[in-house]
Chain A
Amino acid sequence: MPRMSMIEAIRDALDVSMGRDDNVVIFGEDVGYFGGVFRCTQGLQQKYGKERAFDTPISELGIVGTAIGMAAYGLRPCVEVQFADYVYPAYDQIVSEAARLRYRSNGGFTCPIVIRMPTGGGIFGGQTHSQSPEALFTHVSGLKTVVPSNPVDAKGLLIASIEDPDPVIFLEPKRLYNGPFDGHHERPVTAWSKHPLGEVPAGHYTVPLGKAAVRREGSDVTVLAYGTMVHVAEAAADEVGVEAEVIDLRTLIPYDLETITASVNKTGRCVIVHEATLTSGFGAELAALVQEHCFYHLEAPIARVTGWDTPYPHAQEWDYFPGPGRVGRAIREVMEA
């Protein structure tokens, strides 16, 4: 089986989708000739032509707004916003237009678009290249929000997103592009080529939206995570020597309530981890769901480990980032409660 980085897996998903369906077009800033600042679209303009892979003016509003018009025409645009931190000029188009088009037109017009964005921190990107804005999308009815944590999922989820009949926000944890980062920034990162989840099947396959994955089974405590934090959670559990069940949500909306509740009902304990700021983060929704559906099985208060409610700092990156030390402490506290 081919081994791929997450960048290669995403590129392969785009390649497979463009090869299968002429209506799939990709565009965004630096996406065409150069192949994207993270190289996710490299070679696709050469392969599919300028009409299906092209550069755009620096206008996220324009990128998403034209994608919506194209989708209404019948295309399946998969656009790139260079960093999730830059998506805000397009927010009205996403929230008021893409998300509601099917509903408000009673299905007369639909919006099968995918908006890809590198998300999250860990690269010393400061406040403009590190944010995790997923909760701004999960709060909006009509959007699906996907966050892969590894190459094999990234490819299958991206193909599923492109084939989905509704708009999908596809957040790519940029710290995972080249290898599984567990938060130990002081250590070298192993490449995906040495990781089993870097084995990516060739050709077409999908990972269905709305299905979580149990990354490791355990009976002591459930850790709910997505994106980079899946790897941090696994490392933290190892380091504190707790039998943690680590669940990789993969899709935030629709979320996989069955997998979440089955796990928490089994372990009776729950730690929720995300990079994004704490207050009104997606972890708050998860905590509420666990409380609503697992209350009588809970043996300890639910804990959240997240980014602080500050802008994403530069020099203080590793004080901000919820690394394995903080996650491990939370796991221990929940076990001792």
Chain B
Amino acid sequence: MDDRAPLRFHVPEPEFRPGDTPDFSNVPIPKAGSVRRPEIDADPESIRDLAFSIIRVLNRKGEAVGPWAGFLTDEELLEGLRHMMLLRTFDKRMLTAQRQGKTSFYMQHMGEEAVSCAFRKALEPGDMNFPTYRQAGLLIAGGYPMVDMMNQIYSNEADPLKGRQLPVMYSSKEYGFFSISGNLGTQFVQAVGWAMASAIKKDTRIAVGWIGDGSTAESDFHAALVFASTYKAPVVLNIVNNQWAISTFQGIARGGSGTFAARGLGFGIPALRVDGNDYLAVHAVAKWAVERARRNLGPTLIEHVTYRVGAHSTSDDPSAYRPKTESDAWPLGDPVLRLKNHLIVRGVWSEERHRQAEAEINDTVISAQKEAERHGTLHSGGKPSARDMFEGVFETMPPHLRRQRQQAGV
């Protein structure tokens, strides 16, 4: 007789499913201001604990506290609030436009606005982001024209990408925003390559990679960390942990690892976790990592702890896999509300001014939308020509494509 117990197969499950009452009181959330801020040139070995904590600046009273506070002026914070509000309003209008059939698809940022908006302000002109589809704040905070974003979403005659890409897969070299693939994780290792090139050319510009919690399971993530570590590439590698990869909770990708940030430790890469819903904390951590990269101190891995409040995309319904109230129970709050409250505490903002700003931003977005729609939407008005479909596959069109274009009669 074999007295060995049968092997057990383990499949992780999220704590809460539809119908459950979510309760995150067991999620350890360090107090704002409690996590130390190491020197820029700290030895990664000496700051391993930062991969298991959460750097936070804004406390419950709306005050900015601790060693990561104090890096932004009133004006910069007011601008940050405006960027997040712009992004949120933009999302709302574009979601509605998708439901009205003006485009095929949309992906919103609800709850994650601080991550890309704050990070962008830590960069300098010429730095290059390799984003995922949920970092449009990089464009908004970088001053990219909103009308062009809408033209891309509508695939209209003014679409900078000529209707070739799925909505929200923007691309702008000028604004430091690498073409979004749509295939997951591929851009992470490309960011490392861009950074290696910058170092090879003795440049001063750095690269920034972005990836979601789910996509860290892709081999591209591991290749990126190996190459970044080996060549000490001037790159900041961001994991946006918004808890959900479509319907799959982050535990499926994280496995037995304590945190996603901890993945960096085995590569000797300094790894920090930050409250992704805290504009000040994201900006301060970004500044720290960006300076490290620029000072030839190599890569940094940052895990932004946040929560995807909305659906994955317009093709997704989260009520099928998580409790409807889960986002309200999420302990890190709303990034827009938190910065708004902080600005009120600072004495530079008020409910009244906030309402005025909301109305003004709404008008700005509506007017951009009207302008974009004059160039057409997906199914009506001006659109890219069928001839454009054949252009740009190669710099010079080879004969076989020329023949096919003739066959298509365009």
A residues apposed to B, CB below 8 Å:
25, 51-52, 56-57, 59, 61-62, 65-70, 72-75, 89, 92-93, 96-97, 101-110, 141-142, 144, 165-166, 210, 253-255, 257
Chain A residue numbers with a CB within 8 Å of B191 are 69
Mark contacts of B184-219 with chain A using CB atoms, 8 A cut-off: 1 yes-contact digit, 0 otherwise. Answer: 001001111111111011000001000000000001
A165 adjacent to B395 (CB under 8 Å): yes
Q: How far is the CB of B139 from chain A (nearest CB, A)?
A: 13
**Of all chain A residues, which has the CB nearest B384?**
A106
Q: Please tell me which one of the listed residues A72, A102, A210 contacts residue B398 in the complex, with CB atoms under 8 A apart.
A: A210
* Interface assignment of B394: CB less than 8 Å from any CB of chain A: yes
B399 adjacent to A254 (CB under 8 Å): yes
- Given known contacts A57-B226, A62-B189, A104-B161, A73 and B197 CB-to-CB distance under 8 angstroms: yes
Chain A residue numbers with a CB within 8 Å of B171 are 104-106, 108-109
**Of all chain A residues, which has the CB nearest B394?**
A166
A142 adjacent to B197 (CB under 8 Å): no
- Given known contacts A108-B173, A109-B173, A65 and B194 CB-to-CB distance under 8 angstroms: no
A254 adjacent to B179 (CB under 8 Å): no
**Of all chain A residues, which has the CB nearest B235?**
A69
Chain A residue numbers with a CB within 8 Å of B358 are none
A106 to B391: give the CA distance in the assembly, Å. 9
Q: How far is the CB of A31 from chain B (nearest CB, A)?
A: 14
A-B contact pairs, 19 of them (CB 8 A): A25-B200, A57-B230, A61-B220, A62-B223, A65-B190, A65-B220, A68-B190, A68-B193, A69-B190, A96-B183, A97-B186, A104-B169, A104-B181, A106-B160, A106-B164, A109-B171, A141-B393, A165-B394, A257-B399
Q: Please tell me which one of the listed residues B172, B197, B207, B399 contacts residue A108 in the complex, with CB atoms under 8 A apart.
A: B172
A75 to B190: give the CA distance in the assembly, Å. 13
* Interface assignment of B162: CB less than 8 Å from any CB of chain A: yes
A56 to B196: give the CA distance in the assembly, Å. 12
B392 adjacent to A109 (CB under 8 Å): no
B395 adjacent to A66 (CB under 8 Å): no
Mark contacts of B47-76 with chain A using CB atoms, 8 A cut-off: 1 yes-contact digit, 0 otherwise. Answer: 000000000000000000000000000000
A66 adjacent to B193 (CB under 8 Å): yes
Q: How far is the CB of A165 from chain B (nearest CB, A)?
A: 4
Mark contacts of B89-104 with chain A using CB atoms, 8 A cut-off: 1 yes-contact digit, 0 otherwise. Answer: 0000000000000000
A144 to B401: give the CA distance in the assembly, Å. 13
Chain A residue numbers with a CB within 8 Å of B165 are 104
B197 adjacent to A69 (CB under 8 Å): yes
A52 to B161: give the CA distance in the assembly, Å. 33
B164 adjacent to A104 (CB under 8 Å): yes
B230 adjacent to A69 (CB under 8 Å): no
- Given known contacts A62-B189, A69-B193, A110 and B395 CB-to-CB distance under 8 angstroms: yes
- Given known contacts A62-B223, A66-B193, A103-B164, A108 and B392 CB-to-CB distance under 8 angstroms: no
A69 adjacent to B400 (CB under 8 Å): no
**Of all chain A residues, which has the CB nearest B203?**
A73
Q: Give the number of residue pairs across the A-B interface with Cβ within 8 Å.
A: 140
A65 adjacent to B223 (CB under 8 Å): yes
* Interface assignment of B281: CB less than 8 Å from any CB of chain A: no
For chain B, the bracket of interface size reads 35 or more
A70 to B194: give the CA distance in the assembly, Å. 5
A66 adjacent to B192 (CB under 8 Å): yes
A65 adjacent to B399 (CB under 8 Å): no
A73 to B191: give the CA distance in the assembly, Å. 10
Q: How far is the CB of A279 from chain B (nearest CB, A)?
A: 22
Chain A residue numbers with a CB within 8 Å of B392 are 102-103, 106-107
A101 to B220: give the CA distance in the assembly, Å. 17
Chain B residue numbers with a CB within 8 Å of A144 are 394
Apart from A57-B227, A105-B161, what are 14 other A-B pairs with CB-CB below 8 Å? Answer: A62-B227, A65-B186, A68-B190, A69-B196, A70-B196, A70-B200, A72-B194, A73-B198, A93-B189, A96-B183, A102-B393, A102-B394, A141-B393, A144-B394
A8 to B177: give the CA distance in the assembly, Å. 41
B residues apposed to A, CB below 8 Å:
128, 130, 160-162, 164-165, 169, 171-173, 178-179, 181, 183, 186, 189-198, 200-201, 207, 219-220, 223-224, 226-227, 230, 392-395, 398-400
A273 to B146: give the CA distance in the assembly, Å. 55
List the 9 closest pairs (A to B, CB-CB), nearest first: A69-B193, A66-B193, A65-B189, A62-B223, A254-B398, A69-B190, A73-B197, A105-B179, A69-B194
Chain B residue numbers with a CB within 8 Å of A96 are 181, 183, 186
Chain A residue numbers with a CB within 8 Å of B207 are 69
Chain B residue numbers with a CB within 8 Å of A109 are 171, 173, 178-179
Chain B residue numbers with a CB within 8 Å of A104 are 161, 164-165, 169, 171, 179, 181
**Of all chain A residues, which has the CB nearest B160?**
A106
A59 to B400: give the CA distance in the assembly, Å. 34
Q: Please tell me which one of the listed residues A92, A254, A257 contacts residue B186 in the complex, with CB atoms under 8 A apart.
A: A92
A72 adjacent to B178 (CB under 8 Å): yes
Chain A residue numbers with a CB within 8 Å of B393 are 102-103, 141-142
- Given known contacts A65-B189, A108-B172, A165-B395, A101 and B227 CB-to-CB distance under 8 angstroms: no
**Of all chain B residues, which has the CB nearest A95?**
B183
A68 to B169: give the CA distance in the assembly, Å. 18
Chain A residue numbers with a CB within 8 Å of B192 are 65-66, 69
Q: How far is the CB of A108 from chain B (nearest CB, A)?
A: 5
Chain A residue numbers with a CB within 8 Å of B200 are 25, 51-52, 70, 75
A96 to B220: give the CA distance in the assembly, Å. 13
A25 to B395: give the CA distance in the assembly, Å. 22
A257 adjacent to B400 (CB under 8 Å): yes
B227 adjacent to A56 (CB under 8 Å): yes
A69 adjacent to B130 (CB under 8 Å): yes
A97 adjacent to B181 (CB under 8 Å): yes
Q: How far is the CB of B154 from chain A (nearest CB, A)?
A: 15
**Of all chain A residues, which has the CB nearest B392?**
A103
- Given known contacts A65-B190, A97-B186, A166 and B164 CB-to-CB distance under 8 angstroms: no
Task: From A56, A89, A106, A108, name the one whose CB has the most chain B CB atoms within 10 angstroms.
Answer: A106
A253 to B399: give the CA distance in the assembly, Å. 10
**Of all chain B residues, which has the CB nearest A57?**
B226
Task: From A67, A97, A110, name the one whose CB has the most chain B CB atoms within 10 angstroms.
Answer: A97
